[in-house]
C-alpha cells in the first residue's frame, strides 16, 4: 500500500528552486532515508509532505490526501520531529507533551496514560517537571520523539533526529526507531549519517540541489553506482591516477584518494607493489556512493 | 497519479474551533503561571495615573470636561489605554518572541493546526488579555468611585473587542517588521500620538474643526468614547453620536482582526 506518493513536485523560494520536480513513493511500513548535502532541499521536501509548506508544482498524496489542501487531516496522522529542537521553552517536559497533544485535541485519562507510557518509552520518566532548557541535547531529542508519537501516527517524518548527539544516544534512538518499525511504522528519515541510513533504511533517496538523483535499497545503490571494494589512502601517497589497476575507478575527495574495484585481491596486490602507507581497504559503503554522486567540494 | 489510498479512515483532525481554542489554551497555561507578576504593573499603572491626576494635575485644572472633573473625565480613557496597550504588546513583542526565539509556532505547524488557526488563537488570546486587564482596571476605577453607569458591566466585552482591534493591527505590524526594534516606531510614532489626540485628556470637540475631523477618523477616539459611554454615562460623552462608537469598534475589530491573521499567515508561508 502506497502511503506517500509524489509526482514532479517543485518548490521555490524566490529565484531559488529548493525542490525540483521530485517524484517518489513510499510503501507502508518502510523506512525511507533521504540523504543530501546541506541545502539540498530535504527539509523543504519533508515540510511539503508534512503539510507545512505548499508546493508550487506537482502532485502529492499522503495517505491518499493532498497534504496541503487537507493539511489538518493529514497532519493528524503524522508524527513529526523537526530539525530544530522546537520545544516550548515556557513549559516543562510534561506540559510540553500535554499541550502538544491538545493541538490534536487529545486529552483525558487515556491520553495522560499514553503520555506516561511514552515518557517511559524514551526513558524520561521522572523528569516530568524539568524545564526544557535544562534538558541535554539527547533528552530533548528523545522528548521530541515522544511528542511525535503522541497522536499514534501512521507515518513519522524525522528531520535529522540524531544530529549533534553522542554515539550512545544515537544508538538509543536507533533502537527506539527499530522498535517502532517492528510495529509497522512508516518512517521518512532525513539524515547526514550514512551509517544511520544503512542501519535503518529499507530505501534510500539522494537529493542534490533539489533533485532526487538516485533511489534504491542501500545495497542496490552501492552495486549500481560503484565496484564493491575500495582502497582509501592519503593523496600524498598517490602514485598518480594512471598507475591504478586496469578497470579500477579513482575518486578524489578532499585530500583522500579512493580506488574502487570489484576484485579485492587485485587491490591488495596493487597495494603491495606501490608500498602505500596507512591504506584502508574496505567494502564500498553508502558514504562512497554519496560522495561519488553528489560530487566534490561544498555545495553552498 | 495512482489513487494511493481511499480516505476511508475516520476523520481525525479536530474542528477549527477546537484547533483555535487549543492555541488559546497554550497561551493561557503559559501565562497563568506568571499572572500576578504580569498583571501587577497593568493594575498599578492606572492607579498611579489616577492618583497623579486626581491629587496632582487635577487640582490645577478646575475646568469641567463634559461635565466631569479632570480625573473622572480621564478614567475611561485610562481603561481604554490599558486594553489597547495590553493587546499591542502581546501581538508585537509577544508574538515576535514566540516566532523568533521560542519557535512556538514551528512546533504548532507540525500538528493539525494551520497557520490561520495559530494566529486566530493568538488574536483571541490578545482579546482575552485585553478583556481581563480592562476588567481589573475597571475594578480599580470602581474603587476610586469613577464608575457611575451600570452599563460598566459591559467592560469585559468592550475590552475584548478593543483588544481584538488593536491586537489585529499589531499583528499586521508584526507581519511587516524585519527586526524587533521596529516595534519602537509603531509605539512612539503610531500609538502614542493616537492616544493623546483621541480625547483621552480633553474632549475632542474642543479641537479646531480640521483636527476634530482627524480625531474622529482615528480608531482610538471610538475606543475611548465607547468606554466613556458605558463608564460615565450618556450625559458625559463628547459627541452626540457616541452610541455609534461601539459599532465602529466592532467593525474595526473584525477588519483588523482579519487583516492581522491574514498577514501573519502570509508571512509564515513566504
Ligand atoms: N524559508 C526559506 N526562505 C528562503 N530560502 C529557503 C527557505 N527555506 C529553505 N530555503 C533554501 O532552500 C534550500 C533548501 O533548504 P532545505 O532546508 O530544504 O535544505 P536541507 O537539505 O534540509 O539542508 P540541511 O541539510 O542543511 O538541513 C536552501 O538553499 C535554503 O537556503
Ligand atoms: Mg534540513
Question: B-contacting residues of A 130-169, CB under 8 Å?
Answer: 148, 151
- What ipTM does the predicted assembly reach? 0.87
Is residue A128 located within the same domain as residue A45?
yes
CA atoms within 13 A on the CB side of A42: 25
Comparing CB atoms, the residue among B14, B29, B112 nearest residue A95 is B29
- Percent of chain B past pLDDT 70, that is, above it, reads 93
For chain B, give the percent of residues with pLDDT over 90: 46
Between these two residues, B7 and A274, which has the higher pLDDT value? A274
A137 and A36 together in one domain: yes
- A171 with A242, same domain? no
DSSP states along A271-294: HHHHT-SS-EEEE--HHHHHHHHH
Residues of B with CB under 8 A from a CB of A: 1-7, 9, 11-14, 18-19, 22-23, 25-26, 29-30, 102-104, 106-114, 117, 269
Inter-residue long-range contacts of A266-270, CB under 8 Å, 24+ positions, other chains counted: A267/A229, A267/A231, A270/A231, A270/A244, A270/A245
What's the pLDDT score for residue B2? 47
Question: What's the mean pLDDT when you consider all of chain B?
Answer: 87
Least confident of A31-40, A95-104, B54-63: B54-63
Q: How confident is the model at residue A296 (pLDDT cuts 50, 70, 90)?
A: low
**Alpha carbon of A276 to ligand 2 centroid (Å):** 39
Whether A294 has a pLDDT exceeding 80, the answer reads yes
CB distance A299 to ligand 1 below 6 Å: no
pLDDT of residue B10: 66
Give the pLDDT confidence score for residue A239 in this predicted structure. 80
Q: What is the pLDDT of residue B65?
A: 73
A41 in contact with ligand 1, CB cutoff 6 A: yes
With contacts defined as CB-CB under 8 Å, which chain B residues touch A73? 7, 11-13, 112
Whether B3 has a pLDDT exceeding 90, the answer reads: no
Report the C-alpha gap between B144 and B138 in whole angstroms: 10
Give contacts of A88 with chain B, Cβ < 8 Å. 26, 30, 102, 104, 107
pLDDT at B69: 77
The predicted pLDDT at position A217 comes to 94
Mean pLDDT on B110-130:
96
Q: Verify that A70 and A187 share a domain, yes or no.
A: yes
What would the mean pLDDT of A23-29 be, rounded to a whole number? Answer: 95
What are the tens digits of pLDDT across the range A124-146?
A: 999 999 999 999 999 999 999 99
Rounded distance, CA A138 to CA A127, Å?
Answer: 13
Q: From CA B70, how far away is CA A110, in angstroms rounded?
A: 59
- What's the pLDDT band for A222 if we cut at 50, 70, 90? very high
> Is residue B1 pLDDT above 60, yes or no?
no
Both A278 and A159 in a single domain? no
pLDDT value for B68: 75
Q: Note the pLDDT of residue A161.
A: 92
DSSP label of B194: H
* pLDDT surpasses 90 at A109: yes
What percentage of residues in chain A have a pLDDT greater than 90? 75
Measured in Å, how far apart are chain A's first and last C-alpha atoms?
37
Q: Which residue of A51, A55, A77, A90 to mutate against B (max B Cβ within 10 Å)?
A: A90
What mean pLDDT comes out for the span A70-99?
Answer: 93
Three-state DSSP at A47 gives helix
Q: Label residue A298 by pLDDT band (50, 70, 90).
A: low
Q: Which long-range contacts (CB under 8 A, 24 or more apart) does B136-141 make?
A: B136/B39, B136/B42, B136/B43, B137/B42, B137/B43, B137/B46, B137/B78, B137/B79, B137/B82, B138/B79, B138/B231, B140/B43, B140/B46, B140/B47, B140/B50, B141/B46, B141/B50, B141/B75, B141/B78, B141/B79, B141/B231
What pLDDT is stored for residue A235 in this prediction? 85
Per-residue model confidence (pLDDT) at position B258 = 98
Torsional class of A233: left (φ above 0), alpha (ψ -120 to 50), beta (otherwise): beta
State the average pLDDT over residues A270-297.
85
A164 and A63 inside one domain: yes
Which of A219-223, B25-29, B208-212 is least confident? B208-212
Of B89, B111, B48, the residue nearest B173 (C-alpha) = B89
Q: First and final CA of chain B: distance in angstroms? A: 28
Atom of ligand 1 nearest to the CA of A41: 18
Please indicate, yes or no, if residue A292 is contained in any of the structural domains. Answer: no
Measure CA B155 to chain center: 12
What is the A52 CA–ligand 2 centroid distance (Å)?
A: 14
Q: Is the pLDDT of residue B55 over 80?
A: no
Residue range B90-97: mean pLDDT, rounded: 94
Nearest to A254 by CA among A276, A236, A279: A236
How many angstroms away from the CA of B166 is the closest CA of chain A? 25
Residues forming beta bridges with residue A100, ordered by sequence position: none
Within this chain, do residues A124 and A54 fall inside the same structural domain, yes or no?
Answer: yes
Residues A9 and A97 in one domain: yes
End residue of a domain, out of A185, A215, A245: A215
Structural domain of A33: 2-215
- Kindly give the pairing relationship between strand A31-35 and strand A203-208: parallel
From the list B65, B71, B77, B109, the residue with the least C-alpha distance to B223 is B77
How confident is the model at residue B265, as a pLDDT? 94
Q: Which three cell numbers stand for residue B180?
A: 524587533
The verdict on residue A127 lying in a domain is: yes
β-pair partners for A211:
A208
| pTM for the full predicted model | 0.89
A80 and A194 belong to one structural domain? yes
CB-nearest partner of A64 from B3, B18, B113: B3
Q: In the predicted model, is pLDDT for residue A295 greater than 90?
A: no
* Of the candidate ranges B5-19, B23-37, B95-109, the one whose mean pLDDT is the lowest: B5-19
Cα B129 to Cα A117: distance, rounded to the nearest angstrom: 36
CATH assignment at residue A261: 3.30.70
Mean pLDDT of chain A: 92
Residue nearest to atom 9 of ligand 1 (CA): A44
| pLDDT at residue A60 tops 90 | yes
Q: Who contacts B101 (Cβ-Cβ below 8 Å, separation ≥6)? A: none
* Count of the separate structural domains present in chain A: 2
Report domain extents, chain B: 16-269
Q: What is the CATH number of the domain that holds A96?
A: 3.40.50.300
The tens digit of pLDDT for each residue in B244-263 reads 888 999 999 999 999 999 99
Q: Is the pLDDT of residue A9 over 50?
A: yes
Query: Residue A297 — pLDDT band, cuts 50, 70, 90?
Result: low
Q: Which residue has the higher pLDDT, B119 or B59?
A: B119
Indicate whether A50 and A96 sit together in one domain: yes
Q: Ligand 1 mean position to A16 CA, how many Å?
A: 10
Amino acid at each position: 500500500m502506497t502511503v506517500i506518493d509524489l509526482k514532479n513536485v517543485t518548490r521555490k523560494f524566490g529565484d531559488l528552486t529548493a525542490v525540483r520536480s521530485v517524484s517518489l513513493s513510499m510503501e507502508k511500513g518502510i523506512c525511507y532515508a533521504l540523504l543530501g548535502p546541506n541545502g539540498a532541499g530535504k527539509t523543504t521536501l519533508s515540510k511539503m509532505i508534512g503539510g507545512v509548506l505548499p508546493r508550487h508544482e506537482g502532485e502529492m498524496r499522503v495517505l491518499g490526501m493532498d497534504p496541503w489542501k487537507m493539511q489538518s487531516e493529514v497532519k493528524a496522522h503524522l508524527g513529526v520531529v523537526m530539525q530544530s529542537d522546537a520545544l516550548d521553552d515556557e513549559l516543562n517536559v510534561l506540559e510540553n507533551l500535554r499541550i502538544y497533544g491538545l493541538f490534536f485535541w487529545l486529552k483525558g485519562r487515556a491520553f495522560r496514560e499514553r503520555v506516561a507510557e511514552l515518557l517511559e518509552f524514551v526513558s524520561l520518566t521522572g523528569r516530568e517537571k524539568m524545564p526544557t532548557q535544562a534538558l541535554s541535547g539527547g533528552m530533548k531529542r528523545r522528548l521530541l520523539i515522544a511528542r511525535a508519537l503522541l497522536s499514534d501516527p501512521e507515518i513519522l517524518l524525522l528531520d535529522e533526529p540524531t544530529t549533534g548527539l553522542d554515539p550512545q544516544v544515537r544508538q538509543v534512538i536507533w533502537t527506539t526507531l527499530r522498535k517502532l518499525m517492528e510495529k509497522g511504522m512508516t518512517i521518512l528519515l532525513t539524515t547526514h549519517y550514512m551509517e544511520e541510513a544503512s542501519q535503518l533504511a529499507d530505501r534510500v533517496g539522494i537529493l542534490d540541489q533539489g533533485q532526487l538523483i538516485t533511489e534504491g535499497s542501500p545495497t542496490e545503490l552501492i552495486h549500481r553506482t560503484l565496484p564493491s571494494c575500495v582502497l582509501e589512502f592519503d593523496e600524498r601517497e598517490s602514485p598518480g591516477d594512471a598507475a591504478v589497476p586496469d578497470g579500477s575507478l579513482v575518486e578524489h575527495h578532499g585530500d583522500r584518494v579512493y580506488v574502487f574495484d570489484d576484485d579485492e585481491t587485485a587491490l591488495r596486490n596493487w597495494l603491495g607493489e606501490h608500498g602505500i602507507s596507512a591504506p584502508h581497504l574496505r567494502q564500498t559503503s553508502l558514504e562512497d556512493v554519496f560522495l561519488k554522486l553528489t560530487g566534490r567540494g561544498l555545495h553552498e | 497519479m495512482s489513487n494511493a489510498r481511499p480516505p476511508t479512515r475516520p476523520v481525525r483532525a479536530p474542528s477549527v474551533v477546537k484547533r483555535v481554542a487549543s492555541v488559546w489554551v497554550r497561551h493561557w497555561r503559559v501565562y497563568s503561571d506568571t499572572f500576578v507578576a504580569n498583571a501587577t504593573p497593568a493594575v498599578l499603572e492606572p492607579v498611579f495615573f489616577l492618583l497623579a491626576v486626581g491629587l496632582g494635575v487635577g487640582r490645577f485644572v478646575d475646568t469641567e470636561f463634559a461635565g466631569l472633573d479632570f480625573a473622572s473625565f480621564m478614567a475611561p480613557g485610562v481603561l481604554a489605554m490599558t486594553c489597547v496597550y495590553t493587546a499591542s504588546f502581546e501581538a508585537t513583542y509577544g508574538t515576535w518572541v514566540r516566532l523568533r526565539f521560542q519557535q512556538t509556532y514551528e512546533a504548532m505547524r507540525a500538528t493539525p493546526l494551520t497557520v490561520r488557526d495559530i494566529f486566530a488563537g493568538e488574536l483571541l488570546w490578545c482579546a482575552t488579555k485585553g478583556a481581563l486587564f480592562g476588567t481589573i482596571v475597571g475594578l480599580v476605577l470602581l474603587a476610586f468611585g469613577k464608575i457611575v453607569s451600570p452599563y460598566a458591566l459591559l467592560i469585559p466585552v468592550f475590552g475584548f473587542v478593543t483588544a481584538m482591534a488593536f491586537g489585529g493591527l499589531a499583528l499586521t505590524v508584526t507581519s511587516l517588521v524585519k527586526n524587533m526594534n521596529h516595534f519602537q516606531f509603531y509605539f512612539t510614532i503610531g500609538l502614542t500620538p493616537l492616544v493623546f489626540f483621541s480625547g483621552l485628556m480633553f474632549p475632542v470637540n474642543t479641537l479646531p474643526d480640521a483636527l476634530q475631523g482627524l480625531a474622529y477618523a482615528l480608531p482610538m477616539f471610538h475606543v475611548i468614547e465607547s468606554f466613556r459611554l458605558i463608564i460615565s454615562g450618556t450625559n458625559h460623552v463628547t459627541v452626540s453620536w457616541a452610541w455609534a462608537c461601539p459599532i465602529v469598534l466592532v467593525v474595526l475589530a473584525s477588519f483588523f482582526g482579519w487583516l492581522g491573521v491574514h498577514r501573519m499567515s502570509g508571512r509564515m508561508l513566504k
